């Protein structure tokens, strides 16, 4: 069977083993460390069309969580982690009140095809079969 990389399973396993011996982390584990967390992928997706202010990002996450609010502390932490990983840029503007905008870096933009694939998978409804609470609430 050919994988998405065009390599057979055996070839992919051999490449993976060689990379591990060279000291590289498994790409799946690395991706989980980079984008793992409740709101990181949704935040990156929210920034796909350009700069957004903190409040815009927060409102987007409320919609994504079916009306359940995200705390300011948690969102600030997620944004700081994304900025620390150089996936987003935080720009502060002087003024009263101060204004802060976030936007994707080139590295952050490189994750959008992965996010699109996750969304395409989710549109099949598979996540509801695995995680029933991901579907609509029943009265």
Question: What are the domain boundaries of the chain?
Answer: 40-131
pLDDT digits (tens, 9 = 90+) for 115-130: 999 889 888 988 888 8
Residue 108 confidence (pLDDT): 96
Is a pLDDT exceeding 80 seen at residue 8? Answer: yes
| pTM of the predicted protein model | 0.80
Mean pLDDT of the region 30-39: 86
Q: Which CATH class is domain 40-131?
A: mainly alpha
Q: How many helices (H) and strands (E) does the chain have?
A: 8, 3
Dihedral sign from CA coordinates of 80, 84, 88, 91 = positive
9: left (phi over 0), alpha (psi -120 to 50) or beta: alpha
């Amino acid at each position: 069977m050919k994988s998405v990389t065009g390599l057979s399973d055996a070839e992919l396993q051999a490449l993976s083993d060689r990379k591990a011996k060279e000291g590289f982390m498994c790409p799946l584990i690395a991706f989980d460390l980079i984008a793992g967390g409740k709101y990181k992928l949704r935040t990156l997706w929210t920034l796909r069309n350009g700069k957004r202010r903190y409040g815009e990002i927060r409102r987007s996450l409320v919609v994504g969580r079916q009306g359940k609010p995200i705390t300011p502390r948690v969102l600030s932490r997620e944004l700081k982690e994304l900025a620390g990983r150089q996936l987003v840029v935080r720009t502060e503007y002087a003024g009263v009140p101060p204004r802060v905008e976030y936007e994707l870096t080139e590295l952050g933009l490189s994750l959008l095809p992965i996010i699109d694939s996750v969304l395409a998978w989710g549109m099949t409804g598979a996540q509801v079969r695995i995680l029933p609470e991901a579907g609509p609430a029943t009265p």
